[in-house]
Structure 1
Amino acid sequence: MGGSVLAVRAGVSHVKDLPQPIKLIFKHDKTMQNGICVFWQESLHMVGKGRWSTGGCETNNTDTEFICSCNHLSFFAVLVNPVLSVDKSNAVALSYITYIGSTLSVFFTIISLIIYICLQCRRPEKAIGVHMQLTGALLCLHLSFLLCCLSGWLLKDNEDSLVCRGLGLFLHWSLLATFSWAALEGFHLYLLLVKVFNIYVRRYMLKLSLVGWGLPTLTVVVCGILGVYGKYIVNVRDDNNSTSQICWMSSQFPQRVLVSYITTVAFPCLVILYNSCMLGMVVFRIWGLRRGCCGTESTSSWKKMNKEKMTRLWKDCTTVLGLSCVLSLTWGLLSTTYISLPGIYVFTILNSLQGVSMFLWSVAVTRKSRSDNDSSIRDHSSSQKMMTTSFNN
């Protein structure tokens, strides 16, 4: 609404529970179809702090106006993204989902690391090495998140200790490392799509490690020197206007928003965009190979797909879904959290269980490795089979 805020006051005392509500009109264009009337509720615990609340206000939306009917006087505005206002019950449910999902991810990523280490010892492959690095970064991410949440509960309100700063640095580093290795997974997939055979880069894993671990380390060292990390305060939307805290980027750091936007918004968006293009290339290649194999068939025969074709289609869909998790494309669902509350739940569930998805992918890689060992002769002319399994190779 262009930052428009209307203030209605009378005297020095609070005016509330009016028998006849006052009406405030906010004009808008037709592009703003969703909005909700709110008032500024000051915090009882922190001077100068507060939140937007819907208590005592009703919203009537016309084609050109938001009409707010409120039974008290205060500062009023219209939020055009009302679904972001998660109430306390949903916040508690989302918190439990996140904690349980992260705990499961820690457990299953440890198992995945053991599987990849065994596979790497038995038959060293670059793809397995990349998977192993990404799994390690994901383990650090979920573990650091749980530690930061736990420390946030134990910290005192006025405490911003060195431990909290260290945990905030560890969480930031783990997040950057996860997206860095997700981008390197996409780069490795690109090499397999462009140069299917005879891929050789001198000290390939060493160079990838310098990027995957070195870039996050350099970033957090600079942020640590600038004093970015510390206690981050989150306002909980409940009647008591309570607050929660976590070890992350300090709320007192003046440039926190800028640093957070560059490192936790812009960088992940670039990674997701790049990996989405890589996944699109995989889907296009699979579609082209399937079309090439079945191009001589008529339309009627294609519609009457037999059991073997259905199996191939299921495998293709499973491959695409697995790659989506490996390439961390589930983080792209963050955009759905601006649309609806179910989008927030879907985003929370999928990303908190990303470690479980990596475990399922490691099981698929293990089965593929066993299948390769059992096959003494490979038909390299079968490009269709090669495409669906080349990422594991």
Structure 2
Amino acid sequence: MEYENGTEGKGRHWSVNGCSVVFSDENYTVCSCSHLSTFALIMQTGETVSEDNPFLEWVNRMCVIVGLVFFALAILTFLLCSWNPKINNTARLHLCLCLFLSHLMLLLDYTYLTHKLVCSIMAGLLHFLVVASFLWMLLEALQLYLLVQRLSRIQIIQREGLQKKYLFLIGYGIPLVIVGVSAAVKRDGYGGSKVCWLKPEQYFTWAVLGPVCTVLALNWILFCVTIWSLRPTLANMKSDVSQSKDTRLIIFKILAQFVILGCTWVLGFFQSTMVFKYLFIVLNSQQGTFLYIVHCLFNKEVRDEYRKWLGCSSSSSTPDSMKEAPSVSEDLDKAGEEKQKKGTRPG
């Protein structure tokens, strides 16, 4: 068993949450403890683990489960639907895969917490998935930035972004190197008694916080530059492209993209306040939800595919707001076509 946080002596007592008796006789008692833990621990910078908060853990569990459902829907959609050849969903697909697996591992952490070797292996795998997730967020932000930059040069929009071989090299190659070096430098750095993660001794958690902070800084810069570059394009788009009469939809897409690119993970550095803890859990557990809504549900081609699967007619049971709601990629593709037409008109 373990002590709950508290000062020496007064107010300190044994924690029995998540613990059960394995064996007991007149001489000693063996207990097995498994504690739920929020994935906010990924951003923990110190060695002190906050005390158990049952309601926070319940919110974490519910939010993660909802997020996993939408991650699964997005993954199936990216794999099974036919897409516009101009749209490259590689980064989005692998971002969903990495976040889905990492969230699932944290949700089921208690099942292998008591096995030291398994816990260490799973901690190393989780380290890889978390770093890979942030690299895929960076690649998604970079591809969106490149797409917007093409709009400013009045050219035909080809297939989005980088080639697949470069995406895989960055998205999985760099995390593999980081985890390999970390494991070589500190072999016993993975595991733990409360959560299977990097041990905080000697600041080993910076093996993940270092890459995460770097990606967060780059994503914030790319997001701000992208939005700034997109302002004149959105202002010049026709009403049937940008839905200028419904600015709330555009604002929602921008805010959703802010979450999808992981910019809200910066809240992890302000977890001393309970409000920020809840915001961190709710927003970052729903990356898959926002990604599914913006890139799948708001995509007319995908909705048509859904209707085919469900055997529905092309116009039945679809809200008017959804019929007119293009995805981010559709918005930018059409904007590029508009600029292309304007650029080729005789002066």
Equivalent residue, structure 2, for 1:326: 260
Select 2:183's aligned residue among 217, 224, 227: 224
1:264 to 196, 199, 208: 208
Aligned counterpart, 2:223: 279
Q: For residues 253-289 of structure 1, give each alpha carbon's deviation from its aligned partner in whole angstroms, at most 9, with x where no partner exists.
A: x53x1x312x332322221221122221232234334
**Structure 1 CA distance, aligned partners of 2:245 and 2:55?**
38
CA pair 227-125 structure 1, distance change in 2 beyond 3 A: farther
- After TM superposition, give the deviation of residue 323 of structure 1 in Å: 0.9
Shift of 1:199: 5.0
Alignment partner of 1:246 out of 173, 192, 195: 195
* CA apart distance, 1:309: 4.0
Q: 1:213 aligns with which of 166, 172, 177?
A: 172
The CA deviation at 1:366 is: 3.1
Distance 1:125 1:177, change over 3 A: farther
Aligned residue in 2 for 1:391: none
Judged with a 3 Å threshold, the aligned counterparts in structure 2 of structure 1 residues 247 and 290 are, in CA distance, closer, same or farther, namely closer
Higher strand share: 1
The structure whose RCO (Cα within 8 Å, separation 6+) is larger is: 2
Give ranges in structure 2 of 5+ residues lacking alignment. Answer: 16-47, 305-325, 341-347
In structure 2, relative to structure 1, the CA distance for the partners of 1:203 and 1:352 (3 Å cut) is closer
Q: Which of 287, 293, 299 does residue 366 from structure 1 map onto?
A: 299
8 Å contact kept, 1:144–1:170: no
Post-superposition CA distance 1:212-247 (Å, at most 9, x none): 0111122222333331444324xxxxxxxxxxx111
Query: Which residue pairs with 2:279 in the alignment?
Result: 346
TM-score, normalisation: structure 2: 0.66
Shift in alpha-carbon separation, 1:132–1:293, aligned structure 2, 3 A: closer
User: For 1:1-393, what aligned pairs fall within 5 Å after superposition?
Assistant: 40-41=7-8, 88=52, 91-119=53-81, 121-152=82-113, 155=114, 161-196=116-151, 197-198=156-157, 204-225=163-184, 226-233=186-193, 245-250=194-199, 254-255=201-202, 257=203, 259-261=204-206, 263-291=207-235, 309-311=244-246, 313-338=247-272, 340-364=273-297, 366-367=299-300, 380=336, 382-383=338-339
What SS is found at the alignment partner of 1:127? coil
User: In the alignment, residue 279 of structure 1 is paired with which amino acid?
Assistant: F
Q: 1:365 to 1:221 in 2, by over 3 A?
A: farther
In structure 1, what is the Cα distance between the partners aligned to 2:163 and 2:279? 36
State the Cα distance separating 1:327 from its structure 2 match: 0.5
* Contact 2:135 2:170 (8 Å CA) reproduced: yes
Q: 1:213 to 1:188 in 2, by over 3 A?
A: same
Q: Does the CA contact (< 8 Å) of 1:105 and 1:353 recur in 2?
A: yes
Sort the Cα spacing of 1:322 and 1:224 in 2 relative to 1 into closer, same or farther, 3 A.
same
Q: Over residues 150-194 of structure 1, what are the superposed CA-to-partner deviations in whole Å (9 max), with x where a residue is unaligned?
A: 323xx1xxx6x2211111111111111110100111111121122
Letter in 1 for 2:7: W
Task: Percent identity, please.
Answer: 18
Q: Which residue of 2 aligns with 1:303?
A: none
Cα distance change of structure 1 residues 265 and 317 upon mapping to structure 2, 3 Å threshold: same
Return the alpha-carbon distance in structure 1 between the equivalents of residues 127 and 90 of structure 2: 23
Which one has a bigger Cα radius of gyration?
Answer: 1
Separation (CA, whole Å) in 2 of partners of 1:358 and 1:92: 29
The letter for the 1-side match of 2:187 is: G
Gaps of 5+ in 1: 1-37, 47-83, 234-244, 295-307, 385-393
**Structure 1: distance between partners of 2:294 and 2:141:** 15
- Matches of 1:363 and 1:293 in 2, distance apart? 22
- Write the distance in 1 (CA, Å) between the matches of 2:137 and 2:127: 15
2:138–2:218 contact (8 Å) kept in structure 1? yes
Q: Which amino acid aligns with 2:198?
A: M
Q: CA deviation at 1:345?
A: 1.1
What is the TM-score normalised by the length of structure 1?
A: 0.59
Distance 1:125 1:110, change over 3 A: farther
